[in-house]
Structure formats: structure tokens, C-alpha cells
């Protein structure tokens, strides 16, 4: 469903080009979950941004549901994100002027795929019942992240991309939120690409790959 073939990406820096991805191959099947690990600065977020079509590779090919992302213009890539991708970041990116209920429905509305019974199920499972009228600033960090996960999953996207989604939470909340996210991703039928530093976080996923010096491979230890 998501395929990287010999993907290269470098950034221009004052010291010259910084080669971050140097021939990355990756294949994520429908409904599968994949943890992406690697040292800080190894290029995990870069890879995730490319998968979301937020940036384009210098060379190589990325296809999503059989479509080469580079053949789409920016509005086309934005449409693809709206229709088929859910994004969760360490910063929650909730809309401060919308209450929890409207934040949760936003993505599904934009995708034209509102599903009231699935949304109700998400609210309940995410422990947000009774908090629907609160604004993001009136919620705890854990509640805000659960809301951000609910928003991303409300349209039942083909793929959820998550970049250190529990990085801002304490250890216990992080574990709870992650377990819940994995269960809901399965219920939603979405595939998952999860960036994490933590082997414990990666453990329950179907597969784990590590980025080292621009290459992606099975972790050795």
C-alpha cells in the first residue's frame, strides 16, 4: 500500500549537502503496523514527511495505493492526505477555537466521511465522554493527545502516520495512550507507520525497522 523504492533525500546546509536518506526501500501492506526506529537525527521525521507527501524525494519513488506521489501536484497531495491519511505528532495540533467534539469531527468532515456511530465509539474508547464541550486548553496533555488520535482516526484512514505520539506524556499515560491507539488502529482497519525511540513502544507492532546512516534495515539487537 505504501512503498518506498530507492528513496534519496538530502538537505542543503552551510556545510554542504546533508544526505539523510540514501536509498531507502520500504513496503507497508494494508492494515499492517510498522515501527520506525533510529537515533536522533537519523531521518525518521524526514521519512514520515515524505510518506505524507509533505515533501518530495530527490530521487527514487514513493507510491501510495499504487499512485506515485511525485506525479501529484500540491493540491493533489493535500487531497490524498485528507482522504487517506491520518497524522499524529508529538505536538497535538488541535484547533484551539474548536471544542473537543468539533476537533474530533474535523478530519472526517474534511474527508467527507462522517460516521456518527464510529465517532461515538471513539469518544467513548478514548475516555472523552463528558468532555466534548471543552476546548483543548481545558484538557490535560493525555486527553489532548487522545483527542488528536481520535481526530486522525475519525475518517478511518487507510494509513495513520504517527511521529513520537506519546513523547510529551509521562511513562504511564504514554503506555495507556499507545495501547489504546494500537487497538483503535486495528478496529479502524488502518495501517500504521509509527516513529519511536522506544523499543517497548515498537514491540507490539507487526514489524520494526531501524534507520542507520540513510539505510533502513531490521534492527540487529
The neighbour count for residue 186, using CB atoms within 10 Å, is 12
Choice between 18 and 59, CB closer to ligand ATP? 18
CB of 15 to ligand ATP, least distance (A): 10
Residues 11, 24: Cα–Cα separation, whole Å: 16
Choice between 21 and 69, CB closer to ligand ATP? 21
Distance of CA 47 to the CA centre of its chain: 11
Q: Distance between terminal CA atoms of the chain?
A: 28
Does an H or E element contain 54, and which?
A: none
Choice between 94 and 211, CB closer to ligand ATP? 211
CB-count exposure of residue 69 (10 Å: 0-12, 13-18, 19+) = buried
Choice between 11 and 95, CB closer to ligand ATP? 11
Phi/psi for 4 (5° steps) reads -110, 130
Binding region for ligand ATP (CB under 6 A)? 11, 13, 18, 20, 38, 40-46
Q: Are 3 and 24 in contact (CB under 8 A)?
A: no
Phi/psi for 214 (5° steps) reads 85, -5
Choice between 128 and 178, CB closer to ligand ATP? 178
Choice between 41 and 204, CB closer to ligand ATP? 41
CB of 41 to ligand ATP, least distance (A): 4
For residue 75 the three cell numbers come to 493540491
Q: Are 24 and 216 in contact (CB under 8 A)?
A: yes
CB of 153 to ligand ATP, least distance (A): 23
Amino acid at each position: 500500500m505504501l512503498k518506498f523504492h530507492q528513496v534519496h533525500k538530502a538537505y542543503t546546509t552551510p556545510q554542504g549537502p546533508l544526505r539523510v536518506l540514501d536509498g531507502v526501500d520500504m513496503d507497508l501492506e494494508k492494515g499492517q503496523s510498522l515501527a520506525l526506529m533510529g537515533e536522533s537525527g537519523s531521518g525518521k521525521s524526514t521519512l514520515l514527511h515524505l510518506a505524507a507527501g509533505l515533501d518530495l524525494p530527490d530521487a527514487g519513488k514513493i507510491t501510495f495505493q499504487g499512485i506515485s506521489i511525485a506525479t501529484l501536484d500540491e493540491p493533489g497531495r493535500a487531497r490524498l492526505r485528507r482522504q487517506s491519511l491520518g497524522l499524529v505528532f508529538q505536538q497535538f495540533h488541535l484547533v484551539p477555537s474548536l471544542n473537543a467534539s468539533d476537533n474530533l469531527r474535523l478530519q472526517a468532515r474534511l474527508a467527507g466521511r462522517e460516521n456518527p456511530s464510529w465517532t461515538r465509539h471513539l469518544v467513548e474508547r478514548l475516555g472523552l465522554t463528558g468532555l466534548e464541550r471543552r476546548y483543548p486548553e481545558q484538557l490535560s496533555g493525555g486527553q489532548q493527545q487522545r483527542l488528536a488520535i481520535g481526530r486522525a482516526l475519525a475518517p478511518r484512514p487507510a494509513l495513520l502516520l504517527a511521529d513520537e505520539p506519546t513523547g510529551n506524556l509521562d511513562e504511564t499515560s504514554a503506555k495507556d495512550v499507545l495501547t489504546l491507539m494500537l487497538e483503535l488502529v486495528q478496529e479502524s482497519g488502518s495501517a500504521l507507520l509509527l516513529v519511536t525511540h522506544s523499543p517497548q513502544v515498537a514491540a507490539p507492532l507487526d514489524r520494526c525497522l531501524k534507520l542507520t546512516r540513510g539505510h533502513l534495515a531490521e534492527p540487529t539487537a
